[in-house]
A = this chain, B = another copy of it.
Amino acid sequence: MEKTLKSYRKIWSELVHYQDILSLLHWDSEVFMPEDARDNRSEQIAQLSSLCHKIFTGNELSDLSEKLFHELKTADIEPEKKLLLERELEVLKRDRNREAKIPVELVEEFSRTTNLAHGVWAGARKNSNFKEFQEILTKVVSLTKEMADAYGHDTERYDALLEGYEPGTNANTLNELFKSLKNSLIPIIHEGKAYPNPFKREVSEEYQNLFNQKLPGILGLSRSVSRLDVSLHPFSTSIGKKDKRITTRYQLDDPTSSIFGVLHETGHALYELGLSNSSEYPSPLTSAVSYGMHESQSRLWENQVGRGRAFWEYFHPMLLKDFQIYHYDLPFDDFFKFINSVNKTKIRVEADQVTYNLHIIMRFEIERDLISGTLQVADLPEVWNSKMKEYFELQIENDGEGVLQDVHWSGGAFGYFPTYTLGNIYSAQIFHSFLSTHQSFWEDVRTRGDFSSLLKWLGKNIHKKGKFYEPNQLIKEATGEYPDSSYLVRYLKSITQGLE
C-alpha cells in the first residue's frame, strides 16, 4: 500500500502545484499585469486550467485512488489514519465525479458564454439598462440549468448548484434558516442608526497603507508567508503552502473601507494558512470545506473581532498615529459608532453587517425561482425592485443601482450568494462558542493586541479539519450545535443596542 500511496500523493502534489501556479496567474492579472497582456493571460489560464482538469479527472489519479481504496481494506495501519484515508478517498471520488459529469463541450460553451456575458453585463450596468443584458443572461441561465441537470438532483434543480458551493445543504434548509433570520433582522434594522463619517478630511493611501500593512501580522498572518497589495476588487488567494496573498482598495474619504477589506481578506488567508498547516497537506481533505465556511472565517475577523470595542481600544491609538490625526479630531466613540452603523443602502457591497443579510436573502429567493423556472429572466427587474421596496423600503430608480449591481449572475454563479449569509451565521456561532471557553480573549486584545488564542482555537477546530466533515457537521463538532441563526441575531442586536 505504501507504494500506491506514494504515487497517489505525488500526482496530487503535482496537481496542487499547478493549481497554485494558476492562482499566481490570476493574482498577477488583478494586481500587477500590464493592461495589454490580458488576452494572452486568458490563454495561459485556459491552458493551465485544462491541464488541471485533465489531471483531476484523468485515469492515472482515478486508477491509483481505486487501487489505494482496495489495498486500504486489508492494510495494517492505525485505525485513525485509516479513517482519514478512507474519508480522503471518498471526498476525492465525490469531487471528481461531480467535475467529470459535465461534458467538455458544455464546459467550453459555459466558459465562452459567461466570458461574453461579463462584458455585456459591464456595459449594461454602465448604461443602467437591463434590456441589454437580458438576452445573454437568458442563455447563461439556460446553460446553468443544463449544468445542474448534468450534475443531477433528486429534489429541486437549484440544489445541484448549491452542492458545488455548500456540500450537504439544500434550498429547503436554507429557506428555513433564512426565513427566521429575515424576521429577526427587520426590528434590528428599525432600531439601528446611521452615524456620520467621523473623518474630517481625506487620509492618503500612503497613511492608510502604513496602518493596513501592520494588521495581518498582528492577527497572525506573518509577512514572511503573505503580502498585501491593491486591486480593483479585494480578494485573497493561496499560491502555495507558505504564500497567501490578499488585496484591498482605497477610498480616501473613508479609510474604514480599506481596513475592513484587509480584515476580511486576512480571515480568508488565515483559513488557507491553517489548511496548509495540516500534517496531511496537500491532500484532497486539506482545502476549504465550503464557500460558506470560507466566508465565516473572513466575517469572523472582519465583524465579530474587527468591529469589537476592545479591538479598537487597542488599534485606535495606532490608527491615529499612522494617519497623523489628533485624538480630538477622531474621538473613539464617533469612530466606533460609525463602523457599527446600520444604514439601509441599495448596493450590497456598501451594506452594513446587519442589512447585508437581507440583500443576500432576497437574491437567494430570486435565483432559486429563476433556476426552478417559476421566474423568467425578463421579469427580474420588477421582482428585484418590489423586494427592495418590501424589505428595505427603498425605491430603485434604475437597473444600475438595482438588478445589475452584482457580477455573479453574469458568470453563472447561481448558488453562490447564500454562502455569504451562511458565512455570517457560522461566524457568529463559532465566535460565540470560542468566547464561552476563552473569557480573557477580549482583555488580551485590549491590552496586548494578542489574538493567538482565537487563531489557535480556529486552527484546531476548523482549519485543520479541512474537508473531513461536511460543513453542517463541522459546525456541530466545533460548537456543539448544528448551524443556527440565533447567534448572529443575538450578536447584531447587542451591537446596535450597545452603541447608545
Residues of A within 8 A of B (CB): 14, 17-18, 20-21, 24-25, 28, 32-37, 40-41, 43-44, 47-48, 223-227, 239-243
A223 to B35, CA, bound (A): 8
Q: Is the CB of B40 within 8 A of A242?
A: yes
Given contacts A18-B47, A35-B224, A36-B243, 16 further A-B contacts (CB under 8 A): A17-B47, A20-B40, A20-B44, A21-B21, A21-B25, A21-B48, A24-B28, A32-B227, A36-B225, A37-B225, A37-B239, A37-B240, A40-B240, A40-B243, A41-B240, A44-B240
A-B contact pairs, 15 of them (CB 8 A): A17-B48, A18-B47, A21-B25, A21-B44, A21-B48, A24-B28, A32-B32, A33-B243, A36-B243, A37-B239, A37-B242, A37-B243, A40-B241, A40-B242, A44-B240
CB distance from A88 to the nearest CB of B (A): 21
A154 to B138, CA, bound (A): 69
Q: Tell me the dominant secondary structure on chain A's binding face.
A: helix
A20 to B40, CA, bound (A): 10
A227 to B35, CA, bound (A): 10
Q: Is the CB of B223 within 8 A of A34?
A: yes
Q: Which residues of B contact A41 (CB under 8 A)?
A: 240, 243
Q: Which residues of B contact A226 (CB under 8 A)?
A: 34
CB distance from A270 to the nearest CB of B (A): 14
Nearest opposing residue in chain B for A22, CB measure: B21
Nearest opposing residue in chain B for A276, CB measure: B40
CB distance from A205 to the nearest CB of B (A): 14
Q: Is the CB of B227 within 8 A of A47?
A: no
CB distance from A72 to the nearest CB of B (A): 27
Partner of A242, one of B21, B34, B47: B34
Q: Which residues of B contact A40 (CB under 8 A)?
A: 20, 240-243
Nearest opposing residue in chain B for A38, CB measure: B242
CB distance from A51 to the nearest CB of B (A): 9
A224 to B40, CA, bound (A): 13
Q: Is the CB of A36 within 8 A of B224?
A: yes
In the complex, the 3 A-B pairs of residues with the closest C-beta atoms, listed nearest first: A37-B243, A40-B240, A36-B242
CB distance from A378 to the nearest CB of B (A): 40
Q: Which residues of B contact A242 (CB under 8 A)?
A: 34, 36-37, 40
Q: Which residues of B contact A28 (CB under 8 A)?
A: 24, 28
A97 to B21, CA, bound (A): 29
Q: Which residues of B contact A20 (CB under 8 A)?
A: 40, 44
CB distance from A86 to the nearest CB of B (A): 28
A227 to B36, CA, bound (A): 12
A48 to B37, CA, bound (A): 21
A32 to B48, CA, bound (A): 22
A36 to B225, CA, bound (A): 6
Q: Which residues of B contact A224 (CB under 8 A)?
A: 34-36
A33 to B21, CA, bound (A): 13
A240 to B47, CA, bound (A): 14
Nearest opposing residue in chain B for A27, CB measure: B28
Partner of A227, one of B14, B34, B44, B243: B34
Q: Is the CB of B25 within 8 A of A44?
A: no
